[in-house]
Amino acid sequence: MARIQKSPNLIQTVAHLEFPGGPIPLDSAFYIDRSPAEARACAEISKPGSLIRIKAPRKMGKSSLMLRIIKAAVDRGYRTVTVDFQQADEAVFANVDKFLRWLCVNVARQLKLEPNLNEFWDEDMGSKVSCSLYFENYLLEQIDSPLFLVLNEVNRVFERANIAQEFLPLLRFWYEQARQSETWEKLRIAVIHSTEIYIALSLNQSPFNVGLPIKLSEFSAEQVQELARRHGLNWNDSYPVEQLMQMVGGHPYLVHLALYHLAILQQNRLSVGENESGEELGRAELEQLLKAAPTQSGIYSDYLRNQSIAIQQKPELAWAFQQVLDVKNSLHLEPLMAYQLDSMGLVKLEGNNCSLSCELYRLYFQEQNLCEDGFSAVGFEELQQENERLLALVNVDELTQIGNRRHFDSCLRAQWKHNARDESPISLILCDIDYFKIYNDTYGHQAGDSCLRSVAQAIRRSLQRPADVAARYGGEEFAIVLPQTDATGALVIAEQIRAKVKALSIIFDPENVDCLPNSVVTISLGIASVVPGPENDAATLVLAADEALYDSKRHGRDRITMSTLLNFRFAAVN
């Protein structure tokens, strides 16, 4: 462990104390250097195209650390932009296009640039390509120095699978572009999140297996001792530190709050002229503080109450946490539950198991009625329903109520393996609502959402077999996986989809746009079909279908195009 740097600043009066809560100011005597992580992060951002990933539960010091890293960037002459996803309205997460446009405008405004977004946004190229071109050809070109982009509370993106499965691979793409582009070398990214990522991404798409990972740990006993010294507390042996850490562990916020109150008690005692043994009185005050800590009159009452409210708002989370409280050691929880409890700082993850973070939580929550009486009957049924809802959140697109991108990726992988064993064909249809951006801009987002829902249900009604899978691929794009279906069969289904969408007769006749080929909403489709084998893979199938879709759009839309590369057909039987 790196040696703790001792601060010469000791607290002289109560006025010099800082109540813990938000990020610790840069000039504060109460900031404990998080080296070696801090030093490594500050060094990493000097590398062209670098990416750092900071993970820690809430109130562990992520924001305070980030202030220091941002200062290091400013000292190097970098431009800095912080995007906090907690500030984003719920409407921002409606679809990938809206999300990426919000991101771009946010960055442009902080760089004091006019957004000029429409000059770079192209419906035919899609939101992700448009966003990348906007960064490369506008934002990064307009500045002469590197840009340090801080993405805070990325865990909020994790909660929206349809956004996460598009945005996170985009970050990985930007990182890889810096290896071959001087323009992209200017971009240095920090990704800050409170929990493990639980969105399914392939290894070559995820930004969470590249760059510098930083996992903030709790304070060590030496760090707690040093922070106590900076508060003017006379802890000459390890006993007070051991007592405090036995209750709250090394959690930075909980430790800091205790030391703050102990320092006030000491100052109050000195102000009335008490000259008794400071060390003995200090120990007595610590014992009283720790005795009251898990109660409603203790210093942690507001913090614990907020944690309790947050847990009880989600019955399935309360039930999971109750299981942790009921065991002495660790136990296995369903990953989504474990990650949520970890992000709140209530548990520690140990491989596939989790355990209680500190004794304070056990003493407080064992007196709470987290699960209502009678939960075992009605409550368990509600828990099952809630688990089904959570599973739907992971696999179902919230807007259209068909599969989301995660579900599509999972089904395609599984079906590819199955068809490879059977040596049977698999077909993929990719389809895109024609001129959807114009439709959205003309009629508004509510009409756009309604259009997406109607098209999704038309696609679903076109599928005949339980094994066929329809999913929202991203934005206005949909994907259909057809196992044991050759190109001929896929063409039949694609034509049914095209016809059903057109038959919806969704009016699309904007006055300010000329030369649209139809007065109703239509859809373009691309098909690829192949027998899985060692010479191809699922990614090739997706690419072939995407190229076919592009051909449909290029040649007039409202049409179907079969891939020229992957178009397997069963031999005709005479």
Catalytic residues: 476
In angstroms, what CA-CA distances link 406 with 27, 158, 161? 45, 12, 7
Tokens (6 digits) for 253: 């916020």
Q: Is 139 left (phi over 0), alpha (psi -120 to 50) or beta?
A: alpha
Identify the three-state secondary structure at position 200. Answer: coil
Q: What is the distance between the terminal CA atoms of the chain, rounded to a whole angstrom? A: 78
Facing residues of 524 across strands? Answer: 432
String of DSSP letters for 487-524: HHHHHHHHHHHHHHHHHT--B---TT----S-SB--EE
- Tracing tokens 């419906």 back to the chain, one arrives at 123
Tell me how many degrees the CA angle 77-209-414 measures, rounded to the nearest 5: 145
Identify the three-state secondary structure at position 188. Answer: strand
- How many H-runs (helices) and E-runs (strands) does the chain carry? 22, 13
Identify the three-state secondary structure at position 35. Answer: coil
Tokens (6 digits) for 286: 């610590």
Tokens (6 digits) for 326: 């009921």
| Amino acid at the residue 358 | C
Whether 220 and 177 have beta carbons less than 8 Å apart is answered as: no
Long-range contacts of 537-544 (CB under 8 A, 24+ apart): 537/416, 538/412, 538/413, 538/416, 540/566, 541/412, 541/416, 541/426, 541/428, 541/566, 542/412, 542/428, 542/430
